[in-house]
Amino acid sequence: MSYSNSIIFGPIPSRRFGISLGIDLSPNKKQCNFDCLYCELEPAKTMDKMVEYPSVKEVISEIKNSFEKHPKIDVITLTANGEPTLYPHLEELIDEINKIKNNTKTLILSNGSTIYEKDIYNALLKIDTVKLSLDCVSQKCFKKLDRIHNGIDINKIIESMILFRKETKNIFVLEVLFVKTLNDKEEEIQALYEAIKKINPHRVDIGTIDRPPAYKVQPVTFELLEKVANTFKGINVNIAFKNRPKQTQSFDETEIISMLKRRPLTKEDIENMFDENSKVILNRLLDESIVSLVDSSGVNFYKIL
C-alpha cells in the first residue's frame, strides 16, 4: 500500500509557527489508544499499536519533496488520525528528520499516554516542541473522558512528564481540553493545577470543544476557562477560545503588576482585557524592565520575572 499522496497535509500558514508541514502517520484510518468523547474523528475501538502505517522511507521522501517545493518551511508537525506515538518506528523517523531538517523545527501533537515507555520517551527528547494532552488527573475522570485503552495509568504519565520536563532541553507544552460536567469540577481543576505545578511545562494551552465531537458532550464557557487560567497561578496559560469576548477595563500600575504576578498574560489577553491607557502603562513597565515579554513556543507572555 502506498501512502505517499496522503501522509502530507500542508505546507500551510500557521499564525503561531509560520509555514507548517503536517505529517499524518496514520492517514487511512483512526488508530488510537484513546477514544475521547470530544474527538472530532468517528468513534473507534482503541488499540495499543498501529497496524497500518507508512514506512520511514516514504515519510522522509515526501518531506524532501516538500522542501524542494517550499524551502522555507518553519516547522514539521508530527500527528495522526489517532495517536502518533503508536507509530512503530518513531525514534528512527525522528532521527532521519533531524538529519535533513536544517533550521526547521519539529513539533509533535500527542495524547501523552506513552511517555512512560522508554523508547517513546527517548524519541520525544529529540523533538523541538513536544505538546502533550492532560485532560484529567484522577483515573476515574481519565477513563470516562478519554476512554483509554486498558492498562494506561495516569499516575505513571504524570511521573514521566515531571521527569521529562527536567531532562528535555527543548520546549514542553501541555494541553487541557475541558468538557462540561466531566473535568470542569472544582476538585478536578485543583488536582490538575497541583499536577501541572509539579510538571512545570513551558506553557499550558486550555480550551474546549469547538468542532462537532464524536459523542454527545458539551463545551464549557469562556468564563470557566478564564477561571481555570486564574487558578493556575504562576503558569504560562494560553486560552484557546473562538470568538473570545472583548471586555476591556482600566488598570493602574499596581493592579497590572499584581495581575502579572498571579498569572502571565498573553498578547491576546492584553488586547481583550486592557483599555488604551492600561496598555500605555504596561509598555512603560516593559521599558523599565519591570515587566518582560517572553516567547513560549510561539506565544508571547507578559510576565514578572
Rounded (10°) angle between helices 186-199 and 154-167? 30
In angstroms, rounded to a whole number, what is the distance separating the alpha carbons of residues 84 and 78? 7
| φ and ψ at residue 266, rounded to 5 degrees | -80, 170
More confident residue, 106 or 242: 106
Which tens digits make up the pLDDT trace of 48-101? 999 999 999 999 999 999 999 888 899 999 999 999 999 999 999 999 999 999
Which tens digits make up the pLDDT trace of 132-153? 999 999 999 999 999 999 999 9
Residue linked to cell 507548517: 20
Query: How far are the Cα atoms of 50, 78, 173, 234 from residue 164, in angstroms, in the given order?
Result: 24, 19, 11, 20
In angstroms, rounded to a whole number, what is the distance separating the alpha carbons of residues 62 and 75? 15
Which tens digits make up the pLDDT trace of 172-205? 999 999 999 999 999 999 999 999 999 999 999 9
The residues that bridge with 106 in the sheet, in sequence order, are 76
The 3-class secondary structure across the chain, one letter per residue, is CCCCCCCEEEEEEECCCEEEEEEECCCCCCECCECCCCCCCCCCCCCCCCCCCCCHHHHHHHHHHHHHHCCCCCEEEEECCECHHHCCCHHHHHHHHHHHCCCCEEEEEECCCCCCCHHHHHHHCCCCEEEEECCCCCHHHHHHHHCECCCCCHHHHHHHHHHHHHHCCCEEEEEEEEECCCCCCHHHHHHHHHHHHHHCCCEEEEEECCCCCCCCCCECCHHHHHHHHHHCCCCCEEECCCCCCCCCECCCHHHHHHHHHHCCEEHHHHHHHECHHHHHHHHHHHHCCCCEEEEECCEEEEECC
In angstroms, rounded to a whole number, what is the distance separating the alpha carbons of residues 267 and 280? 14
pLDDT value of position 13: 58
Q: Give all domains of the chain, ordered by start, each with its CATH number.
A: 8-173 (3.20.20.70), 246-305 (1.10.10.10)
In angstroms, rounded to a whole number, what is the distance separating the alpha carbons of residues 282 and 279? 5
C-alpha gyration radius of the chain: 20
More confident residue, 82 or 16: 82
C-alpha cell at 218: 458539551
pLDDT value of position 7: 83
C-alpha cell at 257: 503588576
Which tens digits make up the pLDDT trace of 95-108? 999 999 999 999 99
Give pTM, 2 decimals: 0.90
